[in-house]
């Protein structure tokens, strides 16, 4: 099992540019979560999907953020346009059965917006 | 809404000493409880979890945690710290039937040689 795979590992972009982060969950997992980690705010849940359907996007900070899950093996988190305050580590996690079994996290994407 | 409080953003112990990381939660009913560890530049890794049954839970790398309902606590311990234990530790809760986890702010564990 390759675990949760995120790409890219690092992304540096200029303010105003579009950024797309990618995630491949563990095969068979029916939940996918996107988190953002910063020193100031810690871990924040942005959005999560169950069976490819977005369930709760109340954590998405602004309309500049959007997420999709076109199939069970792929999800994207897009920021357009990006701003310096979006700089953070973005984690994808997947699970089976929601919170009961805990999550498996990817290694994260470190985003720097200059 | 449930919340998680981790006392101490930084904890420093000597190698070989007892590790104690504190976690308290607020929930109307006993939730599911988790401890995760994050090593530098890596994702979070599940250390242990409590769902039902025995209140003392053993995890990986010699860590264990005890669920105390009366104290709404789930503190993480390890009898003897090792240099490789230096990392960030997160406590998390999930209400029964809920999909998501709520994480604490994290505790950075420093091991002094």
B64-96 pLDDT tens trace: 999 998 999 999 999 999 999 999 999 998 876
| Neighboring chain B residues of A34 at a CB cutoff of 8 Å | none
Percent of chain A residues topping a pLDDT of 90 = 81
> How near does any CA of chain A get to the CA of B90, in Å?
9
Q: Are B3 and B102 in contact (CB under 8 A)?
A: yes
Cβ separation B51–A33 shorter than 8 A:
no
- Residues in chain A predicted with pLDDT less than 50, given as ranges, are none
Taking the C-alpha atoms of residue A91 and residue A109, their distance in angstroms, rounded to an integer, is 7
Of B32, B42, B43, the CB nearest to A99: B32
pLDDT in tens, B2-42: 789 999 999 999 999 999 999 999 876 778 899 999 998 88
Q: Are A105 and B88 in contact (CB under 8 A)?
A: no
Q: Above 80 in pLDDT, residue B98?
A: no
| Neighboring chain A residues of B105 at a CB cutoff of 8 Å | 42
**Distances in whole angstroms, Cα of residue A52 to Cα of each of A28, A101, A110:** 12, 19, 24
DSSP states of B84-100: GG-EEEEEEEE-TT-S-
- Compute the average pLDDT of residues B99-106: 86
pLDDT classification of B100: cutoffs 50, 70, 90: confident
Instruction: Label residue A16 exposed, middle or buried (CB < 10 Å: 0-12, 13-18, 19+).
Output: exposed
Q: Are B107 and B21 in contact (CB under 8 A)?
A: yes
What pLDDT does A1 receive?
Answer: 65
Q: Are B99 and A98 in contact (CB under 8 A)?
A: yes
What pLDDT does A67 receive?
Answer: 98
Taking the C-alpha atoms of residue A81 and residue A64, their distance in angstroms, rounded to an integer, is 6
Is B40 an 8 Å CB contact of chain A? no
């Amino acid at each position: 099992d390759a675990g949760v795979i995120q790409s890219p590992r690092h992304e540096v972009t200029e303010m105003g540019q579009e950024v797309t982060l990618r995630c491949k969950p563990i095969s068979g997992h029916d939940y996918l979560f996107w988190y953002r980690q910063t020193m100031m705010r810690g871990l924040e849940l942005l959005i999560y999907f169950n069976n490819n359907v977005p369930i709760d996007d109340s954590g998405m900070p602004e309309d500049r953020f959007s997420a999709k899950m076109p199939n069970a093996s792929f999800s994207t988190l897009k920021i357009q346009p990006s701003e310096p305050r979006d700089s953070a580590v973005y984690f994808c996690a997947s699970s089976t059965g929601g919170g009961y079994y805990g999550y498996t996290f990817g290694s994260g994407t470190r985003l720097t917006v200059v | 809404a449930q919340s998680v409080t981790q006392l101490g953003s930084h904890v420093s112990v000597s190698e070989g000493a007892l590790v104690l990381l504190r976690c308290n939660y607020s929930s109307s009913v006993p939730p599911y409880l988790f401890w995760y560890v994050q090593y530098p530049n890596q994702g979070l890794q599940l250390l242990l979890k409590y769902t039902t049954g025995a209140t003392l839970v053993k995890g990986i790398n010699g860590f264990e945690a005890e669920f105390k309902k009366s104290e709404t606590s789930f503190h993480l311990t390890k009898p003897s710290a090792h240099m490789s234990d230096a990392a960030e530790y997160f406590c998390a809760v999930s209400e029964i039937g809920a999909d998501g986890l709520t994480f604490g702010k994290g505790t950075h564990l420093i091991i002094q040689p």
